[in-house]
Chain A
Amino acid sequence: DAGITQSPRYKITETGRQVTLMCHQTWSHSYMFWYRQDLGHGLRLIYYSAAADITDKGEVPDGYVVSRSKTENFPLTLESATRSQTSVYFCASSDDRGGRTGELFFGEGSRLTVL
């Protein structure tokens, strides 16, 4: 089915473990984004990508790694998870509006708990 999907939807892990959150979109959108959502902070941008093999930092990139070898996939990796990374993570995609952000299509979110 067309759309944007995230996996896993729920994940519990321990401090220090590596975790990868997957994001897949079927629209061939140029832009993909990772946001984290925490109470009182709204949505904060972690990393974004304008195209395959092009990624850039957002507001809160520390502790996260991304890659984009294919247009449709944008995985987010926490190399050594910390409790402060407990959050709901949203992946989003949008088409290219001349370098500007268009309508964002969000995935359903991945709820990560770090113990």
Chain B
Amino acid sequence: QQPVQSPQAVILREGEDAVINCSSSKALYSVHWYRQKHGEAPVFLMILLKGGEQKGHEKISASFNEKKQQSSLYLTASQLSYSGTYFCGTEMGSNFGNEKLTFGTGTRLTIIP
């Protein structure tokens, strides 16, 4: 089942912060985050496993709330290079060994100078 992302699009000025949310109605094992620039392939950002962990990558971090089946991606002090479409992908908590990563429809982030 496809996760729901919000917002669908956001425009920020350089240096501002952004939060992108991803939620599922099913119990999750993991949440994956990817960024895709226009005309390019998606690029991996991070994986969060159930357990409520928070991970970071420079000024991009994420959290995973297992109880709410939600994940949030935090971009602080945004840079022009952060522009792109962000996708979350989710793996269900059941049927171990036969899981498929299902992606949301994406959040388009535009950073303006």
- Mark A residues whose CB is within 8 Å of B: 33, 35, 40-45, 48, 56, 58-59, 90, 99-109
Query: Which residue on chain A has the smallest CB distance to residue B34?
Result: A104
Answer yes or no: B99 CB below 8 A from chain A CBs: yes
Give chain A nearest CB distance to B11 CB in angstroms: 19
Contact with A along B51-86 (1 / 0, CB 8 A): 000000000000000000000000000000000000
- Mark B residues whose CB is within 8 Å of A: 2, 29-30, 32, 34, 40-44, 47, 87, 89, 91, 96-106
CA gap between A43 and B43 in the complex, in Å: 13
- Of B29, B102, B104, B105, which is within 8 A of A100 by CB? B29
CA gap between A99 and B92 in the complex, in Å: 12
State the majority secondary structure of interface residues on A: strand
CA gap between A42 and B103 in the complex, in Å: 7
Query: Which residue on chain A has the smallest CB distance to residue B3?
Result: A42
**CB pair A99 B41 closer than 8 Å:** no
Give chain A nearest CB distance to B17 CB in angstroms: 24
Report A-chain residues with C-beta under 8 Å of the C-beta of B99: 99-101
Known: A42-B87, A100-B29. 19 other contacts (CB 8 A): A42-B2, A42-B103, A43-B103, A45-B101, A45-B102, A58-B100, A59-B2, A99-B96, A100-B30, A100-B99, A101-B32, A101-B89, A101-B91, A101-B99, A101-B100, A102-B47, A104-B42, A104-B89, A108-B41
Give chain A nearest CB distance to B32 CB in angstroms: 7
**CB pair A100 B41 closer than 8 Å:** no
Point out which of B29, B99, B101 has the most chain A C-beta atoms below 10 A from its C-beta.
Answer: B101
CA gap between A36 and B84 in the complex, in Å: 18
Q: 26 A-B contacts, Cβ less than 8 Å apart?
A: A33-B101, A42-B104, A43-B89, A44-B103, A45-B101, A45-B102, A45-B103, A56-B98, A56-B100, A58-B100, A59-B2, A59-B100, A59-B102, A90-B41, A99-B96, A99-B98, A100-B30, A100-B91, A101-B30, A101-B100, A101-B101, A105-B44, A106-B42, A106-B43, A107-B41, A108-B41
- Of A33, A44, A104, which is within 8 A of B32 by CB? A104
CA gap between A64 and B97 in the complex, in Å: 24
